[in-house]
Amino acid sequence: MSGPAAVSALVEARGVVKRFGGLTAVHRLDLTLWDGEILGLIGPNGAGKTTLFNLLSGQFAPDSGEILLEGREIQRLPSHRICRLGLARTFQVPRPFLALTVSESVLVGAQFGGRVAGTSASETADRCIALTRLEPRRSAPVHSLNLAERKRLDLARALATRPRVLLVDEVAAGLNPTEVRETVGILREVHASGIGIIYVEHVMEAVMDISDRVHVLDHGATIAIGTPGEVTRDPAVIEAYLGRSAGS
Amino acid sequence: MSSFTRRHLLLGVGALGGLALIAPLLLANPYSSRLAQLLFMNILLASAWNLVGGFAGQISFGNASLFGVGAYATSMLWLAGFHPFLTMPVAALLAALYGVAWGWPCLRLRGPYFAIATIGVAEATRIVANHIEAAGGASGLTLPLEQDLGPVLLYALGAVLAVAAVLVSAAVRRSRLGLGLIALREDAQAAAASGVNVARQQVTVFAVTAALTGLAGGYYAVFTLYIVPEKVFGFDLSISLVLMVLVGGIGTVMGPVLGAGIYLFLEQFVLASLADIHLAAFGALLIFIILLEPRGAAPRVAQFVRLIRRRFG
């Protein structure tokens, strides 16, 4: 299902390797996010999903391989440069700036990551606060937010940097079904505004629901790529990952 | 998040006016003049320390190295024939350069690692300063007593410097720089992932801290007329700044001002008869404050002011 030739790659990882001591967390991985798509990234615990996010967003540098953002090599750039080039992320466990209010936190993204002239940082922040349904909490200190709100705040802060690509790390984990539906709705809106998304998630209904393609990792390597329907029927995937729940 | 506003300038002018009004009281005798000078210097130093220590959360035990550079710059230029006022910008500039020179590598460390590095830098600076014969070595420099600026001019200079430091602090707090600093203090990785250049933000604010600390050093030289490395590069000085800010309220604009006052009061009145034991007593006070009021005096005072306003305003 890789897009037609006219569609360009937003993010491309080529032969990326990351080792921690003797452990190879990501092993010669190739991954592509096409323009206009939502790519689900799944795999059992320890498959290397979050490590891959840390590599793509510049938290770590890969030991070898290349990472391209809109055709430009970024694997040696620091996080803030990658953010300003248009790749933003959320964190598996939200990482709020506890001393700030909601609107100040989002303003951090808007003031430091923003790259579009014309609209002011506070307009951008307001738009992202509205999009993530945080308006009623905009003046609240961040430490007073619950988990669902903190996850949406992470999302709002990332969106305020005006990314072309958004890496979403388990934004539905730990939420109740209503909150999951709301969050998926927000991601759809984000996607509709022209942002490509790589979505790591353990909540299968969420990731299978909105992904155009799903990329499955196990032990740091690709074991399947395809539509949600294809990967769930893939024997390798069933064995590595879905096998247990399918067999029960 | 409005930026630095006209209200701040008005408050600054008002503060200077107030200080001018009470000047005759404080200039009544040489002792009270000296107290005013020390207070202004402490406010300048504590506010400067708080920019990097409070907003960026990087605790420095090495600000004496910057203070000393400022004190020596002013003293040596003054002895070379320049007017003391003209030496002040040079003191600020040299201290800023020195601060960036060692802050740039050290600020890559965070938390206790940064704190320990600053102790190393400051102690090394002190030892080197003791051995530079061209600057008087360990016996220091005596400044031209006959050119003393006099209490009125020194008071005015101190007042302007102290008020300026508080205004700079308020401006940083409300600026893009300040927002980035608080973000990186709370979570450096998340700040970087939001586009904040963590290294540059910290070095930028440290340059401001260093410049203001250098100004304080220059001011100290001008009013004491005698400097020695053991004093101006001394560890006691670095520690006292940390104490002032923690007692007053770290990460706030008015906390360092309060802390500077409380510190001077304890040092001069309560503990004057106990000689150097005031640092130990201050340490005990610090433990007390960390246990009971970890955010320092400023939030309580702000609460009190709001209460008074509600009742009478």
Q: Evaluate whether A205 touches A215 at the Cβ level (below 8 Å).
A: no
Residue among B179, B190, B198 minimizing CB distance to A111 = B179
Is B195 within 8 Å of chain A by CB? yes
Is A101 within 8 Å of chain B by CB? no
Residue among A59, A98, A109 minimizing CB distance to B186 = A98
pLDDT at position A115: 59
C-alpha A190/C-alpha A203 separation (Å) is: 19
Note the residue count of chain A: 248
**Residue A20 in domain:** no
**Residue A199 in domain:** yes
Structural domains counted in chain A: 1
pLDDT at position A116: 65
Q: List CB contacts (< 8 A) between B180 and chain A.
A: 108, 111-112
Q: What is the mean pLDDT of chain B?
A: 91
**Residue A84 in domain:** yes
**Residue A227 in domain:** yes
CATH number at residue A151: 3.40.50.300
Where are the alpha helices (H) located in B5-59, listed in sequence order? 6-21, 23-26, 30-50
pLDDT at position A248: 42
Pairwise CB contact (< 8 Å): A89 & B193: yes
**Residue A2 in domain:** no
Closest residue in chain A to residue B251, using alpha carbons only = A99
C-alpha A248/C-alpha B182 separation (Å) is: 50
C-alpha A35/C-alpha A3 separation (Å) is: 9
> Quick one: which of A134, A42, A212, A107 has its CA closest to B196?
A107
Angstroms from B179 CA to nearest CA on chain A:
7
Is B1 within 8 Å of chain A by CB? yes
Q: List CB contacts (< 8 A) between A99 and chain B.
A: 182, 185-186, 251
Interhelix angle B30-50/B151-173, nearest 10 degrees? 20
**Residue A1 in domain:** no
pLDDT digits (tens, 9 = 90+) for B60-99: 999 999 999 999 999 999 999 999 999 999 999 999 999 9
Angstroms from A87 CA to nearest CA on chain B:
9
> The complex's ipTM?
0.90
pLDDT digits (tens, 9 = 90+) for A14-60: 999 999 988 999 999 999 999 989 999 999 888 899 999 999 999 99
- Which pairing describes strands A221-226 and A38-42: parallel, antiparallel, or unpaired? unpaired
**Residue A4 in domain:** no
**Residue A15 in domain:** no
pLDDT digits (tens, 9 = 90+) for B107-152: 999 989 999 999 999 999 999 999 998 888 888 999 988 888 899 9
Is B194 within 8 Å of chain A by CB? yes
Angstroms from A240 CA to nearest CA on chain B:
32
pLDDT digits (tens, 9 = 90+) for B221-263: 999 999 999 999 999 899 999 989 998 999 999 999 999 998 8
Note down the domain range covering A178.
37-61+77-247
